[in-house]
Structure 1
Amino acid sequence: MADVLEFVRAYRLLGRPVLTTGNSFHFKAGAYSAELAEAVLALMESKTGRFDELLIDGEEVRPQAATLSNPWSNIELCYVLDASGAVPVFKNIEQLMARSKSYVRQSLPPHFYLLDDDVLSSEEPLDPQVKSLQAICRLIVCLADLAHFHDEKKSSDEYKLVFVADDSSKGERTVTLYPFLDKSLLAFEVGIALVDSLQGSNLDVNPHLLKERAIFRASLIEHLAGHFDGRERFRLLVSTWSKFVELYENNLATYLSGFSFHKIKQEIATAQITIADQMSKVVGDISGKILSVPVSLVAVIAIAKADSGLESTILVAGLTITSALLAETLAAQKLQYDRIKHSRRMMFSAHFSSARQYPADLKRCLEDAVDGLKENERKLKRSLLALRAICWIPAIAATTLHSFIFQGYLSQGAKQIMKLLLSLSVPL
């Protein structure tokens, strides 16, 4: 395997000789030096090409057998770089893009070298063109992961990526890109953070990744709609990358807002059901207890048929106690009603504070829910007040009837009580 770093070290030690042909250079020196011997050995070990000629003191030497341990008077060599594209050493960036069609199908190697510019891709500071090239190649690899289909034929002259819209009713159904490398593309800045985050390998850390990938594809189709040439579509995507990212973020925000608003609707519906259920329980409790009022009214009839005043008095006392207990029970229900009303205010207060950000339909749902609950509260409150008054009817009716039937006894008893009080008030 070729070692680009070894080649770069050797090439720089040799003084960066100029290429005499498309992929070879000559070097000649008239004196021995340990540094020069180290450079020739490093060139042999780099395996980035082959020696077309290696002359030491006028005699040709086989590179495989050369040790260079003995000093020489002069040395001359011709080195031919591998031009297959497998070795990432190039005359310039144009030659890199012309030879390496495979780089539209895979990431650039971690190290590659441009002879004319003396640029090693892994050296800081990064050359702007190299940085841009790396970003574009990474973009192509990530787009391939996001595409529904891509051309697997490595021998094909054009690499094809096909994106299909999940919802074709909103416009164009598919978009095909033909990624390519061209020096003109290096003038554009492409950020790869977005496409890196959307790779399928991130599914374990992002549960919403599938939906985000679908939004990316839909945004890509929307952005490139109206352009029909695959290469021009790719050029447009690279040249307007920042605008595309903005479109994607807007579409994602719209989706997240819709998802959030749907969740809020569910929260409102749940709160509405919970409050209504609590009110229903209060009404149920009241319904069971208020049935004692008609029963108590029936007991009033027994007063008219009582054989004695004592019996009638006991019946009146029982009905009065029953009415008092029912009134206290209704008072407790009123406290429960107050707690439910307070809970309703607390549950919906957060939604009202954010209502200005809600869409019209969500605002309407919120207002309808609260208005409906308020109407239920008003009816329940009126019912509680009315029932608290009604629960005293049996006691009042019993007392009135008892007083009417036994008014003589009551009058006589009242007179005796008055005499007793007066006698107690007279001083001895």
Structure 2
Amino acid sequence: MFSDVVALYRAMGSPLIEGGVASYEGAPTPAIIAALQSCKDLQPAFGKIQHQDEHDGLLEIELRLPSNEFGRFYTSVSELARSGSLGKGLFPKNIYVVDLAWADFDDNEPEPIKELRRICRLIELLAMLAIGVDKESSPDSYNLFFALPPDGAKPPRTFLLPTQVDDQLLGHELRHMSLLEQILNRKNETKAHLSERKLMIRMAIANVIEKFESEKNLFLVVVREWNEILSIYRANLQTYVYGFSFEKVRRELAQAEIDYGTKLSGVLGDIAGKMLALPISLAGLLALKNSSSPFEAFVLVLGLAVVSVILLAILHNQTLQTKRLLHSFNVVFDDFKDKIVTYPPKLQGLLRITIDQVEKQGQTLENTFRLLKALSWLPVTGAVLVALVKYWDAFQKALVTVLSIVAASNVDPIFLAP
């Protein structure tokens, strides 16, 4: 129905609008008659024909134009630019701009309208890019938050960017907005260094805001200095790319593999000398076999038991050390694992090999420690068995004596009274 109202207004010759009413007095042309017929059942939300009269071959019409969410007439682009919805990135629907003779259902868009649409899209993209968005404080704009990290003696700073739109924004070229589109497109989340790119363009915007923060309309600053923002972003990106290369990552992976491999090997090397006590302690079994008294055998068994306990404690400590090293390895390589699909196939293969080899070495160490722990029980186990075989009679006698003492201590004293 809004198009019918616009058609009638145009048929009336686009007269001056006074107080929201367009008036016409003249010949009843076929275009006006057809438009009036289309507006016969016009709903009040889309406007109202307040007066219609025909006499002496003249037609008088007073048309109240809509001024709500169902339709609105703007006298100029400047008035449209001050529309509240633009400040939140929403281009209004069912509108007619008188000085452009343009309605939003027309096929061709004048350049000012294209500029306003680009500004709306910029606001949408900036709202997605900002580190924070306040959508409630103002009915006509967003409050976007951008920040700069600490730089030497300068502390971190946060800037508030209100998205105020007015006609001063017109006439400024917004080039390469597709850059923001690509950075913020979810389909590109797996691309290399996307988070770094977002951070760089946020910082570029914050740098420009800091430079002109004394100005009243900071959103105008962003639009006006958009080319400068792009230049800062490209310079930062170029610096970052020169400082980061896949060759550098390859060297880091190789060095990390060597470092963790050496550390894991060192875990076993640290206890190699200590584990020599295991075969040496087994020689104590010969001394135990040749012992001449139960007391001498007891001392030897106790000594071999202490050896087993010490070896088990050392192995337990080295097992914990191995787990800490593997955990540290996983912490370092988790970032590489998350971005593995962004690396070239050759680098992906190297990364997978590095992770696989370190994990295999860690698993081998754990299996080795399990075997050594089992062997560490040999001294005390062998000592007990040899002592029992050699001094079985003495062991039985001692056991009977102990049981007798225990049994005697449990006898009721009344039975021992005279």
Shorter-chain TM range is 0.5 to 0.7
Q: What pairs up with 1:224-373 in 2 under 5 angstroms?
A: 224-229=209-214, 231-260=216-245, 263-268=246-251
**Larger Rg over CA atoms:** 1
Instruction: For 2:162 and 2:205, locate their aligned partners in 1 and report how far apart those are by CA, in whole Å.
Output: 14
The SS at the match of 1:77 is: strand
Sequence identity percentage = 22
- The aligned counterpart of 1:363 is none
Q: 1:130 aligns with which of 113, 118, 124?
A: 113
Q: Does 1:16 align with 2:16?
A: no
Q: How much is the aligned-residue C-alpha RMSD, in angstroms?
A: 3.5
Give, in whole Å, the separation in 2 of the partners of 1:87 and 1:209: 41
78, 90, 95: which one pairs with 2:74? Answer: 90
Using the TM superposition, give the Cα deviation of residue 247 of structure 1 relative to its aligned residue in structure 2, in angstroms: 1.2
Aligned partners of 2:48, 2:252: CA distance in 1, in Å? 80
Query: Equivalent of 1:53, from 31, 50, 53?
Result: 50
Alpha-carbon distance between aligned partners in 2 of 1:233 and 1:239, rounded to the nearest angstrom: 10
Cα deviation for residue 108 of structure 1 reads 1.0
Distance 2:256 2:118 in 1: 53
- Preserved contact between residue 76 and residue 99 of structure 2 (Cα < 8 Å): yes
Q: What letter corresponds to residue 118 of structure 1 in structure 2?
A: A
Residue matched to 2:150 = 168
SS at structure 1 position matched to 2:118: helix
Q: Contact (CA 8 Å) 2:84, 2:139: kept in 1 or not?
A: no
Write the mapping of 1:397-416 to structure 2, written as runs, cut at 5 A: none
TM superposition shift of 1:223: 2.3
Classify the secondary structure of the residue corresponding to 1:162: strand
Residue 126 (structure 1) shift: 3.2
Distance (whole Å) between structure 2 residues aligned to residue 26 and residue 158 of structure 1: 35
Give the 3 Å change call, closer, same or farther, for CA 31–125 of structure 1 in structure 2.
closer
Query: Does residue 139 in structure 1 map to residue 127 in structure 2?
Result: no
Q: Note the alpha carbon deviations across 1:109-168, whole angstroms, 9 max, x for none.
A: 466321122123564653222222221122112111111222222754653111134x33
Distance 2:13 2:27 in 1: 17
Any conservation in 1 of the 2:50–2:64 contact (CA below 8 Å)? no
Q: Which amino acid aligns with 2:219?
A: F
- After superposition, the Cα gap between the structure-2 partners of 1:148 and 1:88, relative to the gap in structure 1 and judged at 3 Å, is farther
Do 1:88 and 1:109's aligned partners in 2 also have CA atoms closer than 8 Å?
no
1:220 aligns to what? 205
Q: Structure 2: how far apart are the matches of 1:185 and 1:41?
A: 41
- Would you say how many aligned residue pairs link Structure 1 and Structure 2? 255
Q: Does the 8 A contact of 2:129 with 2:198 survive in 1? A: yes
Return the offset for 1:42: 3.7
Q: Deviations over 1:300-332 (max 9, x none)?
A: xxxxxxxxxxxxxxxxxxxxxxxxxxxxxxxxx
> In structure 2, which of residues 23, 40, 57 is the aligned counterpart of residue 26 of structure 1?
23
Shift of 1:36: 2.4
Kept in 1, the 8 Å contact 2:46–2:66? The answer is yes
- 1:204 CA displacement: 4.7
Q: What's the TM-score, normalizing by structure 1?
A: 0.51
> TM-score when scaled to structure 2?
0.52
Amino acid at match of 2:60: E
Q: Report the CA distance between 1:104 and its aligned residue.
A: 0.7
Asked if the contact 1:202/1:209 (under 8 Å) is kept, the reply is: no
Asked if 1:40 is matched to 2:25, the reply is no
Q: CA 1:211–1:273 in 2, change beyond 3 Å: closer, same or farther?
A: closer
Q: Kindly indicate whether the alpha-carbon contact (under 8 Å) linking 1:179 and 1:231 is maintained by their aligned counterparts in 2.
A: no
Structure 1 residues 157 and 50: alpha-carbon distance in aligned structure 2, compared to 1, 3 A threshold: closer
Report the Cα distance in structure 1 between the residues aligned to 2:235 and 2:144, rounded to whole angstroms.
24
Kept after mapping to 2: 8 A contact 1:17/1:27:
no
Note the residue ranges of structure 2 that are not aligned, 5 or more in a row: 262-418
- Kindly provide the CA deviation profile for residues 188-228 of structure 1, in whole angstroms up to 9, marking residues without a partner as x: 11133223223354455746433322221111112222333
Are 2:85 and 1:102 equivalent residues in the alignment?
yes
Q: For the structure 1 residues 270 and 237, does the alpha-carbon distance in structure 2 shift closer, same or farther, using more than 3 Å as the test?
A: closer
Residue 421 (structure 1) aligns with: none
